[in-house]
């Protein structure tokens, strides 16, 4: 067959949120699009914590998209739990604005959501090819001319690397550095089936509403990271995220990463919430932790990099935000491809419209506004000292022992002076000014 007949405008590699959004936007704009997914269906290889923030990307999708999307529960209750070895402090926040309609953020299960999104992408005219692994870039001389999928050569004017945190394609194209521990965090999670009534009772939720609970402190055993609990419709997502660099540097006799999750699940802050539930899935996924803003360049001739593959994630406190950034980067990449096709020019300079649109969007604005967060969050005392000390301070406040109770002020002052007003504490505080 003549190769021109098979050639498409766009091959998108990877049906995660970036790839799906890119294929959707491009197909709706009239481009011929092939979306390759290595799993049995879009979502089959995808994992998030997960909670998605809708506001930044609401207008990038048709209104009906969000009405129909199989999201889990709108988040109406936020908690932060600081954990000492045998105590904890929980801060619960909720507000009218969180109960506003339409809700601004939802819990999400990616296999369910992405599979549905894949159906919308197909309905928009793109070809979604499951069980297809892109094994490398196809080249015509030096030029990127498509991708290789095993024995098959697939040709396209532009390749969009939406192949996730490990992005083999971005590396093959020379845009991403080699994989290194410092560049990633590991997320591991259990999905625990529980009936909706119990979820709502245990988390004090109105019917249909959802909770997001974050955990910091003893659970990560001094490693940079934290835990999360999200309520889905009929399950709870319970997991943790730890720095890969810290995990790799642990001594031989340390518990494995999976044992951290088991110990977390046994904590009295968690156990009653999931009691009687049934674990239905165990998952693990890497999260990119590249220097701020991700890859220094996301564009080369005939190729664009989007989403996690481009390192587009933002660390806000202990939450990692990436799904809305992935969607936006996918849509903007598609728009750049539409312009490139109109001009018949697929060079890096033509495709760099993607970079410019990204720079003008909330994506890079937020990346820059939160540029100081990763440096601050690498401060180990946030994980091994402060949560424990705050718990101990409250123990001083609340506990009455057999000998009665110490005066509050001297005990509290001693602790505050030692922990927070020490040289290290003040340095941490000084570093926090850039947040």
Q: By the criterion CB under 8 A, which residues form the site for other proteins?
A: 38-40, 43-48, 109-114, 130-133, 135, 149-150, 165-166, 179-181, 183-184, 186, 188, 190-192, 235, 244, 247-250, 252, 254-258, 262, 265-266, 271, 274-286
Q: Least separation, in Å, of the C-beta of 87 and other proteins?
A: 22
CB 260 within 8 A of CB 242: yes
Taking the complex as a whole, the smallest distance from the CB of residue 40 to other proteins amounts, in Å, to: 5
Judged by beta carbon, residue 283 or residue 422, the one nearer other proteins is 283
Output 51 or 285, the one with its CB closest to other proteins: 285
What would the two tokens of residue 60 be? 């990038």
CA-derived radius of gyration, the chain: 23
Do residues 383 and 223 make contact, with C-beta atoms less than 8 angstroms apart? yes
Sign of the C-alpha dihedral, residues 345, 351, 353, 357?
positive
To the nearest whole angstrom, how small is the minimum distance from the Cβ of residue 220 to other proteins? Answer: 14
Burial tier of 86 (Cβ tally within 10 Å: 0-12, 13-18, 19+): exposed
- Judged by CB, which is closer to other proteins: 13, or 299? 13
Residue 287 vs residues 53, 265, 299, 313, 326: alpha-carbon distances, Å: 17, 22, 21, 8, 13
Of the candidates 114, 104, 107, which has an alpha carbon nearest to the alpha carbon of residue 55? 104
Give CA–CA dist 333/303, Å, rounded.
Answer: 10
Q: Closest CB to other proteins among 208 and 276?
A: 276
Cβ distance to other proteins smaller for residue 82 or 169: 169
Peptide bond into 286 cis (omega under 30): no
Q: How far is the CB of 116 from other proteins (least distance, A)?
A: 12
Question: What is the rounded distance in angstroms from the CA atom of residue 205 to the CA atom of residue 36?
Answer: 39
Contact 187, 285 (CB under 8 A): yes
CB of 162 to other proteins, least distance (A): 14
| Complex with other proteins: residue 230 or 354, whichever CB lies closer | 230
At 411, which helix (H) or strand (E)? helix 408-419
- Closest approach, Cβ 4 to other proteins, in A, equals 26
User: What is the number of residues in the chain?
Assistant: 435
Residue 100 CB: number of other CB atoms within 10 A?
11
Angle between helices 17-28 and 323-343 (to 10 degrees): 40
Q: Which is nearer to other proteins, 48 or 352 (CB)?
A: 48
Measured from the CB of residue 54, what is the shortest distance to other proteins in angstroms? 18
CB nearer to other proteins: give 149 or 312: 149
CB of 260 to other proteins, least distance (A): 9
């Amino acid at each position: 067959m003549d190769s021109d007949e098979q050639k498409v405008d766009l091959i998108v590699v990877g049906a995660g949120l970036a790839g799906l959004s890119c294929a959707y936007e491009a197909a709706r704009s009239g481009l011929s699009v092939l979306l390759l997914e290595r799993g049995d269906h879009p979502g089959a290889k995808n994992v998030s914590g997960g909670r998605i923030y809708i506001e930044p990307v609401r207008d990038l999708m048709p209104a009906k998209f969000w009405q129909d999307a199989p999201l889990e529960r709108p988040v109406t209750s936020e908690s932060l739990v600081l954990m000492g070895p045998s105590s904890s402090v929980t801060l619960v926040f909720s507000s009218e604005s969180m109960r506003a309609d339409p809700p601004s953020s939802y819990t999400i299960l990616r296999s369910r959501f992405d599979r549905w999104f894949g159906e919308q992408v197909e309905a928009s005219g793109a070809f979604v090819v499951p069980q297809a692994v892109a094994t490398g870039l196809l080249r015509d001389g030096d030029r990127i001319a498509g991708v290789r999928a095993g024995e098959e050569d697939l040709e396209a004017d532009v390749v969009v690397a939406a192949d996730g945190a490990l992005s083999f394609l971005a590396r093959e194209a020379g845009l991403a550095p080699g994989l290194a521990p410092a560049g990633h965090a590991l997320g591991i999670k259990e999905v625990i089936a529980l009936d909706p009534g119990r979820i709502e009772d245990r988390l004090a939720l109105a019917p249909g509403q959802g909770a997001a609970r974050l955990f910091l402190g003893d659970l990560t055993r001094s490693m940079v990271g934290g835990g999360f609990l999200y309520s889905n419709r009929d399950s709870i997502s319970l997991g943790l995220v730890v720095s890969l660099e810290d995990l790799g540097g642990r001594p031989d006799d340390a518990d494995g990463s999976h044992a951290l999750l088991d110990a977390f699940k046994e904590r009295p802050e968690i156990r009653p919430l999931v009691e009687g539930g049934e674990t239905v899935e165990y998952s693990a996924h890497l999260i990119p932790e590249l220097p701020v803003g991700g890859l220094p360049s996301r564009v080369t001739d005939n190729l664009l990099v989007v989403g996690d593959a481009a390192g587009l994630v933002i660390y806000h406190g202990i939450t990692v935000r990436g799904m809305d950034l992935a969607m936006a980067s996918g849509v903007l990449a598609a728009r750049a491809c539409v312009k490139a096709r109109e001009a018949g020019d697929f060079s890096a300079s033509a495709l760099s419209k993607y970079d410019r649109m990204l720079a003008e969007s909330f994506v890079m604005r937020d990346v820059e506004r939160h540029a100081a967060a990763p440096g601050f969050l690498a401060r180990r005392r946030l994980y091994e000292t402060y949560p424990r000390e705050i718990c101990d301070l409250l123990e001083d406040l609340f506990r009455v022992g057999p000998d009665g109770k110490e005066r509050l002020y001297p005990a509290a002052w001693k602790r505050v002076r030692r922990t927070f007003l020490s040289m290290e504490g003040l340095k941490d505080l000084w570093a926090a000014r850039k947040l």
